[in-house]
A and B are shown apart, each in its own frame.
Chain A
Amino acid sequence: MDRATVSARPAPAGAGFFAASASPGRRHLLGLEGVSRAQILELLDAAALYRERLQSGGWQSDALRGVAACNAFFEDSTRTRISFELAEQRLGAMHVTFGVAGTSVSKGETLLDTLKTVNSMQVEIIIVRHRSAGVPHFLAQHLDASVVNAGDGAHEHPTQGLLDLMTLRDAWDHRFEDRRIAIIGDIAHSRVARSAIFGLNAVGANVVVCGPRTLVPEEVESLGCTHVPRIEDALADADAAMGLRIQRERMEDGLLPSMAEYTRNWGLTVERVRLMKEEAVVIHPGPMNRGVEIMPDVADGGRSVIFYQTANGLAVRCAVLAWCATGDARAAL
């Protein structure tokens, strides 16, 4: 895997000072758009092996000894941040984490200056989460470090996409072909949805998106999915359902009449989940609004693999970090 193919797209030619990556040899994971099936499967295969090691207990590699990683979280995160930190420790990397509060970001320093400072302290991998879409691309163009996107605005969250694929691959007996997943909810504002759509397309699964028209972006089908307005139609005979978090701000923005209206029409209830195939599973990137987009009896029910997803997240991040540091996703096995 080389940088040009795994980062979503190369920087456009002739774009002036944004054109060249500061360091063409670095490997970035900026998104799942444009990543090939083979590349995704290589990461998933490695992640499955990391999961075995992790489950055996007490596993610790020193493959990334001497590698410094910085988790730059400009937006709140619990599970993703902890998952990256644990992966870094398991692989033996040095790591530092910072959030917005208590850093020079709150003193008005530019994003680029802050991360250039970090970069200049011999940090090889920068894991970044930011509310602005495109920040990982921006950093990849300007810094001499590998950049891993841990979620940028409403754009992508590629490690979440990979862990969703890993979870589905287990549930689907390693066969993505002829499978169909329904993604329900706020597609417009969801980076999880975009990474899932790009990743599932790459491995050959079919994606249906469903939600109120105000939460489905323009020309969504060009991303590689089908838009179905009614949840019953979306779930009929599906092989999986993914619920997305519905945020209260959507009502303030005039995009939704009320949470109750959403739940009545698009909530994942036991009755609706039964419309799927018998062996179909339910996933959710979390954090869940129980009783809004997903009912508690679905979240905790027999088809839910939601808590299993989080464990896969750690394994996926081990594979991604090993690949970024060495070029080989299995380097720490």
Chain B
Amino acid sequence: MSAPLVIRDARHWKTGERVDVAIENGAILSVTPSAELTSGPNELDARGAIVAPGLVDLHVHLREPGQSAKETIETGTRAAAAGGFTAVACMPNTDPVLDSPAWIEWVLNRAREARHCRVHPIGAVTMGQKGETLAPALALRNAGAVALSDDGRPIESGALMRHALEYAKLPGLPIVCHEEDLTLRADGQMNEGFTATRLGLRGIPSAAESVMVRRDVELAALTGGRVHFAHLSCAESLEALRDAKRRGLAVTGETCPHYWVLTDEAVADYDSHAKMNPPLRSERDRDAVLAAITDGTLDCLVTDHAPHTFEEKRQPFDLAPFGIAGLETALALTITTLVQPGHLTLERALELWTDGPRRVFNLPKVELAPGSPADLVLIDPDSTWTVDPEGFFSKGRNTPFAGWTLTGRVVATLCGGIVRHRDASAHSAAARERTGAAR
């Protein structure tokens, strides 16, 4: 047995105290004030970086099986580790769809081989995500699925959605709802509003999302089922979620960095990197998303990491696919646009990426305490860097944030007590800055 790994001189994400974290057999052995432990051979010098439970992303498209030109489980989970994530939940809209236990097991096996972070597969609600017949929720859960979703598509039939919610109660799985009325969306390409009108692009009204949120709030009330609303983007949806929570319903919701950072103006002159579904919305919607984050209406933040190939995105706007790569910019965007302007404390922001998502999917708790799994992230919250998609671990280079200068860097990511990502440049930059500040 090797000596325990000791993370030296880290800052506790809640108390702010300097601590040393000792890790053995994948779990935390002790958390003690810095420098009390005797020096050991196996050390990681945090140099004052913040130590927190590893981030969790409940909404990631790993694209395997079947779409490995866009991303693989290997590259996607490597990108996750680089982004500070120790666990991701992957969506079943692959080819084939994850609607059978065999494919859930296949994904888990591939993820174990990749070893970069934990992967929690989400099973399909309906066979082939066709919205016709239910997928075997109990078998999917037994194989390892943590939730059900037809993400990428709505469940159009109200009756089928009702039955899915009822059936999922026994396996105890939440249903993650991609809310979209396809007739209201029609062949829309971006948010309905001035920019769409100016560019001559067909608009998607926010009601395409919110009418379905309202429907599923009522179905949650009818069935007592567990509904989790995916990638909420507009004011009306958030109002519906707020109402539902006031009624005491078992509903939760998530949003993504782009919905609080950008508006539909980012489409500018047909930039396909600003094309996602749901689309970037208006200023008013962006403000509503921000308010729902700060007032606790939203339970967690997710990336909706949706990698596409260079060729797919390098097309005229209406032919380019929806979606952006998000794993490697999420934490820095959170720090830069939520924490720095004072909307949230760093602790609260990190909760939305750690405790929040773990609660939503009922994943094992991770805390800085003896016995907890050593799924940890070290963060330098002051270090700035410039987004260069060419440096991404993800195959997806499709981000609207290329060239942005962001604050906050992942110094290291540990999953099960093993260092899965370490950013040497971040580390030295952080150390340099501190030395400079001390002078």
Shortest B272–chain A CB gap in Å is: 7
Q: CA–CA, A23 to B194, complex, Å?
A: 30
Q: CA–CA, A135 to B320, complex, Å?
A: 12
* Contact assessment for A156 and B200 in the assembled complex, using a CB-CB cutoff below 8 Å: yes
Q: CA–CA, A137 to B272, complex, Å?
A: 12
* Contact assessment for B200 and A191 in the assembled complex, using a CB-CB cutoff below 8 Å: yes
Total A-B residue contacts, Cβ distance less than 8 Å? 97
Q: CA–CA, A191 to B106, complex, Å?
A: 50
Check A130/B199 contact, CB under 8 A, given A15-B268, A15-B271, A137-B269: no
Report the nearest B residue to A135, measured CB to CB: B316
Give the contact stretch, choosing among A5-13, A171-179, A236-244, A286-294. A5-13
* Contact assessment for B269 and A9 in the assembled complex, using a CB-CB cutoff below 8 Å: yes
Chain B's interface: helix, strand, loop or mixed, by majority?
loop
Check A132/B310 contact, CB under 8 A, given A13-B403, A154-B200, A155-B200: no
* Contact assessment for A134 and B404 in the assembled complex, using a CB-CB cutoff below 8 Å: no
Which of B271, B311, B399 makes the CB contact (< 8 A) with A18?
B271
Report the nearest A residue to B200, measured CB to CB: A155
* Contact assessment for A217 and B203 in the assembled complex, using a CB-CB cutoff below 8 Å: yes
B197 contacts A by Cβ under 8 Å = yes
Q: CA–CA, A328 to B403, complex, Å?
A: 36
B25 contacts A by Cβ under 8 Å = no
Shortest B395–chain A CB gap in Å is: 15
* Contact assessment for A220 and B200 in the assembled complex, using a CB-CB cutoff below 8 Å: no
* Contact assessment for B197 and A138 in the assembled complex, using a CB-CB cutoff below 8 Å: no
Which of A10, A12, A219 makes the CB contact (< 8 A) with B271?
A12
* Contact assessment for A219 and B270 in the assembled complex, using a CB-CB cutoff below 8 Å: no
**A interface footprint on B391-427 (CB within 8 Å = 1, 0 otherwise):** 0000001011011100000000000000000000000
Which of A10, A16, A191, A222 makes the CB contact (< 8 A) with B389?
A16
Q: CA–CA, A138 to B273, complex, Å?
A: 13
Check A14/B196 contact, CB under 8 A, given A133-B318, A134-B316: no
* Contact assessment for B318 and A16 in the assembled complex, using a CB-CB cutoff below 8 Å: no
Query: How many residues does chain B have at the interface if contact means C-beta atoms less than 8 Å apart?
Result: 32
**A interface footprint on B279-313 (CB within 8 Å = 1, 0 otherwise):** 00000000000000000000000000000001100
Shortest A21–chain B CB gap in Å is: 11
* Contact assessment for A155 and B199 in the assembled complex, using a CB-CB cutoff below 8 Å: yes
Q: CA–CA, A222 to B272, complex, Å?
A: 23
Report the nearest A residue to B311, measured CB to CB: A110
* Contact assessment for A17 and B318 in the assembled complex, using a CB-CB cutoff below 8 Å: no
B193 contacts A by Cβ under 8 Å = yes
Shortest A119–chain B CB gap in Å is: 16
* Contact assessment for A17 and B200 in the assembled complex, using a CB-CB cutoff below 8 Å: no
Which of A9, A191, A219 makes the CB contact (< 8 A) with B268?
A9
B319 contacts A by Cβ under 8 Å = yes
With most chain A CB atoms within 10 A of its CB, the pick from B192, B200, B314, B319 is B200
Shortest A141–chain B CB gap in Å is: 9
**B interface footprint on A212-255 (CB within 8 Å = 1, 0 otherwise):** 00000111101100000000000000000000000000000000
With most chain B CB atoms within 10 A of its CB, the pick from A16, A154, A217 is A16
A260 contacts B by Cβ under 8 Å = no
* Contact assessment for B193 and A219 in the assembled complex, using a CB-CB cutoff below 8 Å: yes
Q: A137-B270, A219-B197 are in contact. List 9 more A-B contacts (CB 8 A).
A: A9-B269, A16-B389, A18-B314, A33-B198, A112-B314, A135-B316, A138-B316, A152-B200, A223-B197
**A–B pairs, 21, beta carbons within 8 Å:** A8-B269, A16-B397, A16-B399, A18-B272, A18-B273, A110-B315, A112-B314, A130-B316, A132-B317, A133-B199, A134-B199, A134-B201, A135-B316, A138-B317, A153-B318, A154-B201, A155-B199, A156-B200, A194-B200, A217-B203, A218-B194
